[in-house]
Amino acid sequence: FNNKEKTFGDLAIEYSQDPSAKRNKGDLGFFKAFSMVTEFENMAYETPIGEVSMPFLTEHGYHILYVNPKWL
């Protein structure tokens, strides 16, 4: 994510309708296979590391993913 003014976390806090984004800044951490809905998991694995996904729809609404290049 290459925005000089705001981070992905800043944008998640500002625009996400998910109440947890206020505390986790949109960072879902690592998750195991088959622990998310299929569309979400597929997009997470298909989006290159360090890139932002295209918007996509699941049963929970619209999402945009940033695949963090850091292994913590």
Q: Which two tokens stand for residue 28?
A: 């879902």
> pTM for the complete prediction?
0.78
Would the pLDDT of 72 be above 60? no
Q: What is the pLDDT of residue 71?
A: 61
Q: What is the pLDDT of residue 1?
A: 56
N residues, the chain: 72
Q: What is the pLDDT of residue 3?
A: 60
Q: What is the pLDDT of residue 69?
A: 82
One-letter amino acid for residue 65 of the chain: L
DSSP assigned state of 52: B
| pLDDT tens figures, 6-59 | 999 999 999 999 999 999 999 988 888 899 999 999 999 999 999 999 999 999
3-state secondary structure labels for all residues of 16-71: CCCCCHHHHCCCCCCCCCCCCCHHHHHHHHHCCCCCECCCEEECCEEECCECCCCC
